[in-house]
Chain A
Amino acid sequence: MGHIDKGKLLFTGGVFLALALYPLVAESYGIDLVTKIMIYAILALSLELLVGSTGLVCFGQAAFFGIGAYAAVLLSPESEAAGWWWLLPASVAAAALYALFVGALSLRTKGVYFIMVTLAFAQMAYYVVHDTPLGGGTDGIYLYFKPGLDTLVDLGNPYILYFFTLVFLVWTFVFLAILLRSHFGRVLAGIRINEQRMQASGFSTYPFKLAAFVTSGGIAGLAGFLFAVQDGFVNPEMMSWHLSGALLVMIILGGLGHLHGALIGAFVFVFLQELFKSEAVFGDFAKHWHLGLGLTIIACVALLPRGLVGLPEMLHQRLFGFSQRAKGKANGKLPDNTATEEAV
């Protein structure tokens, strides 16, 4: 196990604690909203594994998300609630299976071509559910009974679903954190920095990339399952490239190469949307909320090159005039490497 940054640990622990305590002060809309954000956070984490950690920019993550959701709905029996203990793994497996198929084929390409091939496969999944009777067509399909296990884990109850989701968010985060610090994770980091060098050192990079791809797809499927359970409704738009794009925006906004960047990105992105849509703040102009959101994103790119995770450091530099990095170098610690130049 490598060195664990105390600051990051405190921060992430604090976030999870706040999320655990939130239901004490929130009312039902707040519970629904934060559950939804946590689902997007899980989805963002799945993409972070690929983009930030392995340097594989996937533009088709929404497909795995959608497949997990559709599997949850299609596999549920018509007239009674399904047991989540088999439905959840089934949804994850369905998504992971598609990821295996897509990964096996698309990992033959690199760079921008890889991005476009992943997009192509996502579009294929989209059109299958959009245009064929398999997916219920353009208007989507409903889940009439939310899965559970007796009344103990009745996922129809928003509070239970909230904590269920929180548990999986924490689990995903911890799982990925351990994974990235393991030997497997180190190989992925090596692939991100310089794949040729890894190959020269004797690593067969393809199986590692494929494993990362399948893991990522499975986690996205988990998020899809949770989404289907919460909304009770799935729709082809869940697989659209707009969602894939929004996810990329979230993790870049948060800061690539950091797991908590994905967390931050998801929360901030949704928060920004809510803020700009809010009539309370913007009055009649709220209908043009895309403008505010777009300008904020542009400002973030211009001013925060490393994403929001880089913000404390930047502020520190501005306020105190000396570099954390210099201090860090002096102590023998190296700053985090977030370069993904070679990835695209």
Chain B
Amino acid sequence: MDFSIFLIQCLNALQYGLLLYLVAMGLTLIFGIMGVINLAHGSFYMVGAYMAFALAPLVGGNFFATLLVGVALAAVLGYLLEWAFFSFLYEREHLQQVLMTYGLILVFEELRSLLVGDDVYGVTPPDFLAGSIALGDVMTYPVYRLFVSAVCLLLALGMYLVFTRTRLGMMIRAGSVNREMVQSLGIDIQFLYRVVFAAGVAIAAFAGMVAAPISSVYPGMGNQVLIICFVVVVIGGIGSIRGAFFAALLIGLVDTFGKVLLPQASGVLVYVLMALILLWKPNGLFKAAG
């Protein structure tokens, strides 16, 4: 592999890692901070992607308008879901969350099949983002992927700042450590959790919408990303936003170079990575802090 190819592969790794982080971000909130095992995370991602496809004609085709409307709708969905289902689960055992969200996956998949059908759909990015940049004379790189990477970085930065620099972030972090204490300090923990959950769902859907032009929109897309998202959060350390970020980048590296250097084993490399990291650091790379 000559040097320029190596650099391009690094770019591929970085870009994939950032995409992974974007998709896993909603889960870092709900699973990492709130401690809810949300198997339906993939379904929210799928909802976002299908919204990108379905809303586009309704909103007049403007990509950013679609994003805004979609995020708003997803936040509302998240808020209602938390109120209707998840609020009952905090007191209960984690395994019941597993069961409940497993049921939700099935329900969402079928609703999708009933409402939108089972075909594969494509979403086109807005024109000004649809071009490509030349990388030497080897190949070109689509501008849209760079856009997605930029969006992810901004969002990551934003989340980090909210969590570490604002009162809201402080309350959320405190609530995840000791719910009763926060409540006794007079903060409406129920409302807080509802907001965080809604944000988690909205971010997952947002990721689906933004990634849709790259990944297409198809049945089962949620299930495919689900496991890798959990792997990202766990490698990074549950409760650590910074950890998930580095974990995603690490996975991007392993996946990209694994495909090229060890194609026979590339399917299993990510899991080997997770096993190795957890055996070295049983609680993930970073401690829960933000």
Contact = CB atoms under 8 A, between A and B. Distances in A.
Interface of A: 51, 57, 105-106, 108-110, 112-113, 116-117, 119-121, 123-124, 127-128, 130-132, 241, 245, 248-249, 252-253, 256, 288, 290-291, 293-298, 300-302, 305, 339-341, 343-344
B214 interface: no
A298 B95 contact: no
Interface of B: 37, 39, 85, 88-89, 92-96, 98-100, 102-107, 109-111, 113-114, 227, 230-231, 234, 238, 264-265, 267-268, 271-272, 274-275, 278-279, 282-284
Contacts of B282: 108-110, 113
A288 B103 contact: no
B267 A116 contact: no
Nearest to A340: B93
Given A112-B238, A253-B99, A295-B103, A344 B267 contact: no
A113 to B, nearest CB: 6
B132 to A, nearest CB: 32
Give the interface SS of chain B, mostly helix, strand, loop or mixed. helix
B279 A297 contact: no
7 contacts: A105-B275, A120-B231, A120-B272, A245-B98, A290-B110, A300-B99, A305-B96
B279 A116 contact: no
A294 B107 contact: yes
B95 A123 contact: no
Contacts of A123: 227, 268, 271
Given A112-B234, A298-B85, A291 B271 contact: no
Given A120-B271, A288-B114, A344-B93, A113 B234 contact: yes
Given A105-B279, A297-B106, A256 B272 contact: no
Given A120-B274, A248-B98, A253-B99, A132 B264 contact: yes
Given A127-B267, A252-B99, A340-B95, A113 B278 contact: yes
Contact of A124 (B89, B100, B106, B268): B268
A289 to B, nearest CB: 8
B103 A344 contact: no
Give the interface SS of chain A, mostly helix, strand, loop or mixed. helix
B275 A121 contact: yes
A242 to B, nearest CB: 8
Most A-side CB within 10 Å, residue of B96, B105, B231, B283: B96
A288 B95 contact: no
Contact of A116 (B107, B272, B274): B274
Contacts of A248: 95, 98-99
A300 to B, nearest CB: 7
Contacts of B105: 294
Closest 4 CB pairs of A and B: A294-B106, A297-B103, A291-B110, A344-B94
Contact of B111 (A106, A291, A344): A291
A252 B234 contact: no
A339 B85 CA distance: 21
B238 to A, nearest CB: 6
Contact of B268 (A57, A131, A295): A131
Given A127-B271, A295-B107, A302-B88, 20 more contacts: A106-B278, A112-B234, A113-B282, A117-B275, A119-B230, A120-B275, A120-B278, A121-B275, A124-B275, A131-B268, A132-B264, A245-B98, A256-B95, A293-B106, A294-B106, A296-B103, A302-B100, A305-B96, A343-B94, A344-B95
